[in-house]
Chains A and B, each alone.
Chain A
Amino acid sequence: MSKKLMYPALSVLAAAALALTGCAPSASTPSPSASTAVATPTSASAALSVSQPWVKAAPSGMTGGFGVIKNTSGADITVTGASTPAARMVELHETVAGSTGAMQMKEKDGGFVIPAGGELTLEPGANHLMLMGLAEPITAGTEVAFTLVLADGGTFEFSAVAKDFSGANENYVEEGGAGMSHGQPSGTTGSATSSAPTPTSK
């Protein structure tokens, strides 16, 4: 997918509206699961562990999943995909400077590489799991099950608790869509840095 996504500074409402109309409810529902990670044997996933997993509570549309994933093996491990019963789709997103200099969210080409003996930090404003098309509201305290798909075909499962979080406004629109004014050079107005209203929170 070559879709480029960007932070809306001003059009959270518009993005939320897009998200609402664009998402068919998924048939599956989140199931309660143990909060410990479950590794599939015979895969690189045995070398993975997760700490501080959490997901931003959201009423609908999109939201982000975060945590620190550690690789205790001597070889890099690549995450190529992710899924959750809580959302129709999960993408692996990174934050990069776009051609205009503004920070943009986009799908990570080639997936996330967790270096040998290192860790991958998923956090607001940086690499994260992007949940799109929430099946139902994710309310604070809910446990959300995630499955990471690894390059070797193995999977790594973990559960993340939903937190009431005002940041990580991971609502996206496609570049050039919905009359975004986000791409203007920084510093010309204060609007790009002012905190966007979050009418979609809670």
Chain B
Amino acid sequence: MTAGDHQPAGPTAGSDGPGAPRKLPRRGLLFGGAAAGLGALAAAGAHLAGAGAQDAGKSAPAQPAESVHGGGVVPFYGARQAGITTAAQAHGVFVALDLLPGTTRAKVRALLRLLSDDAANLSAGKPALADTEGELAQVPARLTVTFGFGPGLVAAVDPARAPGWLKPLPVFSIDRLQPGFSDGDLLLQICADDPLTVAHAQRMLLKDSRSFATVRWVQTGFRRSYGSEKPGTTMRNLFGQVDGTSNPVPDSTDSERVVWGGGDIPAWTDNGTSVVIRRITMNLDKWDEVDRVGREESVGRRLSNGAPLTGAQEHDEPDFTAVSKLGFPVISDVSHLRRARPEDSSQRIFRRAYNYDAAPGAGGVSDSGLIFVSYQADVDKQFTPIQRRLDEMDMLNQWTTPIGSAVFAIPPGCREGGFVGESLFA
């Protein structure tokens, strides 16, 4: 349930007594002055945290892990853009640009060429062209750069190609949208397992954008660090909830249909999709007032592992007909799980969210929430019906408020020598 569930897969302390000095290999010692110091601090922290942390203290590896994983590469080139069904990296930044007034089709093309070239180089762990901090590119850490087109960009290139859903979402009563977190002409979704890699890619891409566009908004988000948990573990949000359990499994037939379209719901273009990005503040101070039972009831899932209140394991199917001894539904009719679950199986989305934790405003102690990111072939048919139901009723709405909202069309990927979005110019 807590940290004890996630034993690091490294060597354990073995027969060494808790206080016995450990024999580190010489190499470890050479590296490890600072690391050992940090480890000692962490151990002290675990003690201070109290009895519940004992297991965590024991499971600490005997020596700092030596595995280095910053060399991971996700190919940039391909029929589909990377960063969508790619297992979510630990860090993500979402940047929306506004094209300068009067930006021509030719200028958009030049911009997309430059940015695609940067993304291809950086994803491969190579400096971008004219990269003044090329050393920072040498750790790709599974970097992906995913481009999304807003209505303004498509209008500048070929208005006839704009999918019908490429517009702001309908107005929802729960929304308190701020222009500073909404809309935009061009989305850059930059994700990697290393925040320095993300920052460098962001800087490089924005240097190459500034002749063409201005930054409209930036949202920086995070999940657990790479290696903190088993890959594929459903993320947790800052309410402590397991968030995203009902996601289709990446690269399953399910996700294929949900993200890339099929049957009654085709994508706007082959190997294209759409993304909805909504900034949702989570009122942690108000959430603090809710006890564990109330928290679980609001979602309909257990905080421990995300299992539905009618099940034991995270991926157990919820039983909406189950009732308590008193005759009430075990999963409330107004819980988030119940309200989000569609009757119509085509209303499904693929979530790829990140947490955010910004500096608090005057007098506050937190400004936290979720960068909700949802991929689906058709916004109107898949996303909007779900959001409508949640807008009408969802217990979670007491603690969450959407303050930003943007819709982008995701074009296909490109081949080496090409650029993302080139089919729009055909």
**Docked pose: A56 CA to B132 CA in angstroms:** 13
Q: Which residue of B lies closest to A142 (CB)?
A: B110
Of the candidates A142, A163, A165, A167, the one having the most CB atoms from chain B within 10 angstroms of its own CB is A163
Q: A163-B208, A164-B208, A202-B211 are in contact. Are A141 and B113 (CB under 8 A)?
A: yes
Residue of A nearest to B115 (CB): A141
Partner of A161, one of B107, B113, B132, B207: B113
A112 within 8 A of B: no
Query: Are B210 and A164 in contact, with the CB atoms below 8 A?
Result: yes
Name the B residues within 8 Å of A165 (CB-CB).
Answer: 130, 207
In the bound assembly, the distance between CA atoms of A167 and B110 in angstroms comes to 21
Q: How large is the interface on B (under 10, 10 to 19, 20 to 34, 35 or more residues)?
A: 10 to 19
Query: Is B129 part of the contact surface with A, judged by Cβ < 8 Å?
Result: yes
Whether A167 lies near B211 (C-beta < 8 A) is no
Q: Contact: B211 with A164, CB < 8 Å?
A: yes
Closest-by-CB residue of A relative to B128 is A163
A202: chain B residues within 8 A (beta carbon): 210-211
Distance between B40 CB and nearest chain A CB, rounded to angstroms:
42
A139 proximity list for chain B (CB < 8 A)? 110, 211
Contacting residue for A163 out of B107, B109, B114, CB 8 A? B114
Chain B, interface SS category? helix
A20 at the interface (CB under 8 A from B): no
Query: With A140-B208, A141-B212, A142-B110 given, can you name 17 additional A-B contacts, CB distance below 8 Å?
Result: A52-B129, A54-B130, A56-B130, A139-B211, A140-B110, A140-B212, A141-B109, A141-B113, A141-B114, A161-B114, A163-B114, A163-B130, A163-B208, A164-B210, A164-B211, A167-B132, A202-B211
The answer for the CA separation of A167 and B111 in the assembled complex, in Å, is: 20
Residue of A nearest to B210 (CB): A164
The residue of chain B having its C-beta at the shortest distance from the C-beta of A51 within the complex is B129
Interface of A with B (CB < 8 Å)? 52, 54, 56-57, 66, 139-142, 161, 163-165, 167, 202
Docked complex Cα distance between A21 and B90 (Å)? 54
| Interface class of chain A by DSSP | loop
Give A167 to B212 CA distance when docked, in angstroms: 19
B111 proximity list for chain A (CB < 8 A): 141
**Shortest CB–CB separation between residue B266 and chain A, in angstroms?**
33
Which of B129, B130, B210, B211 has its CB near the most chain A CB atoms (within 10 A)? B130
**Residues in B whose Cβ lies below 8 Å from that of A163:** 114, 129-130, 208
Give A142 to B130 CA distance when docked, in angstroms: 15
A and B contact pairs by CB, cutoff 8 A, 14 listed: A57-B211, A139-B211, A140-B110, A140-B208, A141-B109, A141-B114, A141-B211, A141-B212, A161-B114, A161-B117, A163-B129, A164-B210, A164-B211, A202-B211
Cα distance A164–B208 when bound, in Å?
A: 6
**Chain B contacts for A141, CB-based, 8 A:** 107, 109-111, 113-114, 211-212
Chain B positions 47-97 with a Cβ under 8 Å from a chain A Cβ: none
Partner of B211, one of A52, A54, A140, A161: A140
Query: What residues on B are CB-neighbors of A54 within 8 Å?
Result: 129-130
Chain A residues positioned under 8 Å from B107 (CB to CB): 141
Per-residue CB contact flags for chain B residues 90-108 toward chain A (1 = under 8 Å, else 0) read 0000000000000000010
Q: What's the Cα separation between A163 and B198 when bound, in Å?
A: 21
* CB-CB nearest 8 A-B residue pairs: A141-B110, A140-B211, A163-B130, A164-B211, A54-B129, A54-B130, A165-B130, A141-B114
Docked CA distance A161–B114 (Å): 8
A66 nearest CB neighbor, chain B only = B130
- Which residues of the other chain, B, contact A164 by a CB distance below 8 angstroms? 207-208, 210-211
Give Cα distance in the complex from A4 to B415, angstroms.
45
Q: How far is the CB of A32 from chain B (nearest CB, A)?
A: 10
Chain A residues, Cβ within 8 Å of B117? 161
Within the complex, the shortest CB–CB distance from A61 to chain B, in Å, comes to 17
Contact call A161/B208, Cβ cutoff below 8 A: no
Instruction: For the complex formed, measure the closest distance between the CB of A155 and the CB atoms of chain B, giving whole angstroms.
Output: 24
Min CB–CB distance B325 → chain A (angstroms)? 68
Complex: A55 Cα to B293 Cα, angstroms: 63
Distance of A202 Cα from B113 Cα, bound (Å)? 19
Point out the residues of chain B lying under 8 angstroms from A140, CB to CB: 110, 114, 208, 211-212
Inter-chain contacts of A167 with B (CB < 8 A): 132
Residues of A contacting B129 in the complex (Cβ-Cβ under 8 angstroms): 52, 54, 161, 163
- List residues 111-137 of chain B with CB under 8 A from any CB of chain A: 111, 113-114, 117, 129-130, 132
CA distance A118 to B208 in the complex (A): 31
Closest B residue to A56 using CB positions: B130
Which single residue of chain A is at the shortest CB-CB distance from B106?
A141
Shortest Cβ gap from A161 to chain B (Å): 7
Residues of A with C-beta under 8 A to B130: 54, 56, 66, 163, 165
In the complex, what distance in Å separates the CA atom of A69 from the CA atom of B267? 44
